[in-house]
Chains A and B, each alone.
Chain A
Amino acid sequence: MNLAPGGPAAIVSMQTTPEQREALARELGLDHPVLERYGRWLAAAVTGNLGRSLDTQEPVSMLIGQRFPNTALLALVTIAFTLLVGLPIGIVAAIRRGTFIDRFSTVLSTVGQAVPDFWLGIILIIAFTVALHVLPASGMVTAGSDFNAADLAQHLVLPVLTLSVVLLPNIVRFARSALLDVLHHDYIRTARAKGLPLRRVYIRHALRNAWIPIVAVIGLVIPLLLGGSVVVESVFGWPGMGRLAVQAATDRDYNVVMGVTVFVGAIVILVNLLTDLVYALLDPRIRHA
């Protein structure tokens, strides 16, 4: 861990005395072998103590606690927006297979995944802030003013749009393939053989089955979201966990970086568990096994 130049040793300023440096090193636990430090850190992490920032000495867990709600807000709004836009496109693409909408959605997916999110953010800023002056370029709220929902909303627009581009291709593709898969099942043929109007077949039979994996995909998409937030928060100066991690990585603040990563890992595990739970609740085959 101390291999990189500019490691913890560099934090110590030049004006300290050797005794002070020794004391600091002991306090930071740097006098113990690496493996032991890692073991102790792991034990502490499991109990929720993620150590202190090497830079500011604040507890890492407190830093995460401050930043996490901001990231969560961004993430939730993005999910809502992406679902609202992406699901219909995917569904229509599956129903009208082979037509313009279907091909458009495929193109959208490919293009969307190739776009560098940081660049898109900059482009949006150029368009909406520089050229049109309608939306703010950075931050979560306008500095100095009182809390104001409209202000927050304005600040959310560009980051959410940018982050959605990361998710949209996946949601559209997934919704489309989930529905297509369902449409190939025998019970759809049975439903049509019963003389049910197409609309009823799609809604009552197809979607009722397809929305189970679609709900599950929300869980799968969270890691993508968290990864994307790292960059998007940096582009827009959004005070979230991603930005915290980047700043810490730049400053070689290992504790913070590790802490955030562990936290994110825990979230991912939690989300997976929740997804399994949701699956169990929604699918009667599992409910009434």
Chain B
Amino acid sequence: MPEPLLQVRNLKTHFHGRTREIRAVDGLDLDVHHGQVVCLVGESGSGKSMASLSVMRLVPRPHGRIVDGTIRFDGRDLLSLDERQMNAVRGNEIAMIFQEPMTALNPVLTIGEQVAEVLHVHRGTGRRESLDAVVAMLRRVGVPRAGEIVHEYPHQLSGGLRQRAMIAMAMICGPRLLIADEPTTALDVTIQAQVLALMKEVRREFRTSIVLITHDLGVVAEMAEHVYVMYAGQIVESVAADVLFQSPVHPYTRALMDSIPSLTAERDVLFSIPGNVPDAGAYPEGCRFAGRCPIAQPSCRDHPIPLREVKPGHFARCDLV
């Protein structure tokens, strides 16, 4: 199999608290192949956002740091690049869009100025050319009245339009990889569907790989080809999307599936996973899900659990399956 476009091995991103070390990402392995759509699923606090920020090397300083691991993109080791080289990658070869488009866009610059900026910095295009390119790009992502929108400010647009503008801003230099951190969470359900459809189209047209970070299994079902389930800073299950929905293996994944309310099944009480996510500053020695796991054994708690290939192409971090 050809080398993946993005290959992350044993990524560890830690934060220095006043008295302790918070291990947001604790040994992450991830592959994204050319043109593939990968979903990174997890609840809040699982470390999924921090993982993506780590790939972009945008871990918030002064407290955060990538302490270990390798990130290979297109054959290059991203962690060895200096800031200038990394800047040439960001926005250009790897682009990122964020959850809340209102706050993610600069309120005092027009849409046109913000999108054109990317072209200007990476391609050196002048004002006139950039503006035309921006209008064209906005049209491609389905923004109506693109010629006028270009001169408007973010607060004058609706949420869906803003997200489209962000996608335009991300794609305008034709990046090979698009990282989308919960791009639809802050949007209306109807708009969500539109944006997801747009992302699929973008992938088709630009042949971009997508890493889609989400906690919404519906989005996973809609978009993913391969799924990575993340818990407490680690991948706990990694498999093709359809397999995941048919036969999830890890107790956490199964519990997640069970929590989805069903329109057809009769149930009195909504199922939710008992207990809480472990404190990222004090992970237990053994399995991090053991405290909430329905099938946990004493042996689960006494040693760190490795990620095993339980079936061909299907990995899980559990000793009991």
Contacts and interface: CB of A to CB of B under 8 A. Distances in A.
Nearest to A285: B155
Contacts of A204: 109, 117
Interface string A181-208: 0000111011111111110100011001
Contacts, number: 80
Nearest to A196: B121
A219 B122 CA distance: 40
B90 A192 contact: yes
Interface in A252-289: 283-285, 288
Interface stretch (B25-33, B94-102, B192-200): B94-102
A185 B109 CA distance: 15
A98 interface: yes
A284 B103 contact: no
A70 interface: no
Interface string B159-191: 000000010010000000000000000000000
A97 B58 CA distance: 17
A208 B122 CA distance: 22
B318 interface: no
Contacts of B95: 193-194
Q: Tell me the dominant secondary structure on chain A's binding face.
A: helix
Interface string B118-153: 100110000000000000000000000000000011
Interface of B: 56, 58, 62, 83-84, 86-92, 95-96, 98, 100, 103-109, 117-118, 121-122, 152-153, 155-156, 166, 169
22 contacts: A186-B100, A187-B105, A187-B106, A187-B107, A189-B104, A190-B106, A193-B95, A193-B98, A194-B117, A195-B90, A195-B91, A196-B121, A197-B87, A197-B121, A204-B109, A208-B106, A212-B108, A283-B108, A284-B108, A284-B155, A285-B153, A288-B155
Given A189-B104, A209-B107, 15 more contacts: A187-B105, A187-B106, A190-B104, A193-B90, A193-B98, A194-B90, A194-B118, A195-B86, A196-B87, A196-B117, A197-B121, A204-B109, A208-B108, A209-B106, A284-B108
